[in-house]
Amino acid sequence: MTAAISVRNLRKTYAGQPPVVALKDASLTINDNEFFTLLGPSGCGKTTLLRLIAGFESPTSGALEMFGEDIVNLPPYKRPVNTVFQSYALFPHLTVAQNISFGLEMLGKPKAEIKATVGEMMELVQMTAMADRQTSQISGGQQQRVALARALAPKPKVLLLDEPLSALDFKLRKEMQLELKRLQTETGITFIFVTHDQEEALTMSDRIAVMEAGTIRQIGGPRDIYDHPAERFVADFIGDTNFLPAEFIAAKGGQAEVRLASGQTTTARAPEDGATSGKVTLAIRPEHASLVSEGEGMLAGTLGNIVYFGTDTHFHVQLDDGTAFVLRQQNTPDATARFESGARVGVKFGADVAQVLRD
């Protein structure tokens, strides 16, 4: 598999008193024809890393290669990349076709090639019917498509996307998530996408790098990141998670035996390196636990709020040890409300869905 981007011990420090370390010795490899997402909260270093790849910033130290070539000292205009920003920066007085052709004209491409490429790009983003409209006369979602077409027109090897969906409303953002993945698959271009939205990352990505405080905490596929978080930050940031205090007893064959605060013992997936001891945390996703009658579950408590979300219902339980626990149950036509707020209930989960995290 060809590496599109290779990052080794990349560091970015901004001068100041004290200096600000925006990126701390980051290392990762992004493959050619991959949809790769940099995910994390504001200030985690994801946009800094994107700007280093684009050439808008220079690293303080470390190595950065693109398709095997050292690009640390290569200016942005010589890198085979293009960038789509949060602000689409379209020319409002130009038509859709003129906006897409602008970059090609600046590159001095022949007129016949420009015309053919513009037609190809408009068809790719499904904007052919609006070729002659000014971009001030089209919707936000349509403007986003034009910005993508303009960035794709020069046929870059890598497309960088800095939270391009953040200005769209919820429904349109959902539609464009699928559209972006379609475009990446059809063009075969490496997409590097920056977002703080976990759902965006899980929906579109081949792989995700979860970042926090300038460091990369975990890299993996969406399912791996969600079901097998490497540490508490990742488990907490990606989706909703219940955390139970526990005490480590023993580990064998990838499983760990732990004792919960209730005194019950259970087994769960051990950390990847298998090394742990003393106090640990058990992570359980809300949809991986079941609400049962008191006495039938591993944990017991009092049912508090019952929140209906249309597709599912959330049950908030106050466990007897004082820990809050949320369960999520999908709503089906034959689903019945077995439990009422204030009732004594049990919580049940299997060993294969619980993950031991080191504290």
Q: Contact, 95 vs 133, CB < 8 A? A: yes
Q: How confident is the model at residue 359 (pLDDT cuts 50, 70, 90)?
A: low
CA 143 to chain centre: 23
Contacts with 185 (C-beta within 8 Å, 6 or more apart), sequence order: none
Whether 334 has a pLDDT exceeding 70, the answer reads no
Q: Which of 116-125, 266-275, 284-293, 337-346 has the least mean pLDDT? A: 266-275
Whether 336 has a pLDDT exceeding 60, the answer reads no
Whether 97 has a pLDDT exceeding 70, the answer reads yes
Q: Which of 185-199, 213-227, 268-282, 314-328 has the least mean pLDDT? A: 268-282
3-state SS string for the chain: CCEEEEEEEEEEEECCCCCEEEEEEEEEEEECCCEEEEECCCCCCHHHHHHHHHCCCCCCEEEEEECCEECCCCCHHHCCEEEECCCCCCCCCCEHHHHHHHHHHHCCCCHHHHHHHHHHHHHHCCCHHHCCCEHHHCCHHHHHHHHHHHHHCCCCCEEEEECCCCCCCHHHHHHHHHHHHHHHHHHCCEEEEEECCHHHHHHHCCEEEEEECCEEEEEECHHHHHHCCCCHHHHHHCCCCEEEEEEEEEEECCEEEEEECCCCEEEEECCCCCCCCCEEEEEECHHHEEEEECCCCCEEEEEEEEEECCCEEEEEEEECCCCEEEEEEECCCCCCCCCCCCCEEEEEECCCCCEEEEC
Whether 299 has a pLDDT exceeding 70, the answer reads yes
Whether 126 has a pLDDT exceeding 90, the answer reads no
Sheet containing strand 61-66, strands side by side: 20-31, 3-14, 61-66, 69-70
- As a whole-number percent, the residues of the chain with pLDDT over 70 amount to 97
Q: Which of 32-36, 118-122, 320-324 has the highest mean pLDDT?
A: 32-36
Residue 343 has a pLDDT of 93
Residue 44 has a pLDDT of 95
Average pLDDT over residues 246-255: 84
pLDDT digits (tens, 9 = 90+) for 19-46: 999 999 999 999 999 999 999 999 999 9
Whether 304 has a pLDDT exceeding 80, the answer reads yes
Greater confidence, 136 or 75?
Answer: 75
pLDDT digits (tens, 9 = 90+) for 149-164: 899 999 999 999 998 8
Q: Residue 12: beta bridge partners?
A: 23
Residue 205 has a pLDDT of 96
CA 11 to chain centre: 22
As a whole number of angstroms, the distance between CA 352 and CA 240 comes to 18
Q: How confident is the model at residue 144 (pLDDT cuts 50, 70, 90)?
A: confident
Q: What is the mean pLDDT of the chain?
A: 90
Q: Which domains does the chain have, with CATH numbers?
A: 3-227 (3.40.50.300), 240-358 (2.40.50.140)
Angle between helices 170-187 and 140-152 (to 10 degrees): 20
CA distances from 288 to 203, 216, 227 (A): 20, 27, 10
Residue 136 has a pLDDT of 85
Q: How confident is the model at residue 275 (pLDDT cuts 50, 70, 90)?
A: low
CA distances from 83 to 49, 207, 277 (A): 13, 19, 46
Residue 82 has a pLDDT of 93
pLDDT digits (tens, 9 = 90+) for 35-88: 999 999 999 999 999 999 999 999 999 999 999 999 999 999 999 999 998 877
Q: How confident is the model at residue 250 (pLDDT cuts 50, 70, 90)?
A: confident
pTM (2 decimals)? Answer: 0.89
Up-side HSE of residue 288: CA atoms within 13 Å toward CB? 19
Average pLDDT over residues 345-352: 88
As a whole number of angstroms, the distance between CA 132 and CA 144 comes to 16
Whether 278 has a pLDDT exceeding 90, the answer reads no
Spatial CA neighbour of 118 closest among 78, 109, 181: 109
